[in-house]
Structure 1
Amino acid sequence: MAETKTKPTEVTADAFIDAVADPVRREDAKVVRAMMERLTGEPPRMWGPSIVGFGSYDYRYDSGHQGTSCRLGFSPRKAELVLYVLTGEPEQAPQLARLGKHKTGKACLYVRKLADVDLAVLEEIARGTLAFMDARYPRNARSPSSM
Structure 2
Amino acid sequence: MATLKTQPTDQLVEDYLGSIKDELRAKDCRSIHQIMQEVSGAPGTMWGANIVGYGSYHYKYESGREGDWMLVGFSNRKRYISLYIMSGFDAFDSLLGQLGKHKTGKSCLYINKLKDIEESVLREMIASSIEKIKQRYK
Shorter-chain TM range is over 0.9
1:79 & 1:13 partners in 2: Cα distance?
A: 20
CA pair 74-89 structure 1, distance change in 2 beyond 3 A:
closer
Say whether residues 1:10 and 2:10 are aligned partners: yes
SS at match of 1:6: coil
1:101 corresponds to which residue?
101
**Two-structure CA RMSD over aligned residues (Å):** 1.3
TM-score of the superposed pair, with normalisation by structure 2: 0.94
Deviation at 1:64, TM superposition (A): 2.0
Say whether residues 1:130 and 2:135 are aligned partners: no
Deviation at 1:137, TM superposition (A): 2.2
2:37 & 2:86 partners in 1: Cα distance?
A: 17
CA pair 89-99 structure 1, distance change in 2 beyond 3 A:
closer
TM-score of the superposed pair, with normalisation by structure 1: 0.88
1:144 corresponds to which residue?
none
Runs of 4+ in structure 1 deviating by more than 6 angstroms, as ranges, are none
2:9 & 2:86 partners in 1: Cα distance?
A: 24
2:105 & 2:90 partners in 1: Cα distance?
A: 14
Unpaired segments ≥5 residues, structure 1: 139-147
Identical pairs, percent: 39
2:78 corresponds to which residue?
78
The one-letter code of the counterpart of 2:103 is K
The one-letter code of the counterpart of 2:21 is A
Unpaired segments ≥5 residues, structure 2: none
The one-letter code of the counterpart of 1:15 is D
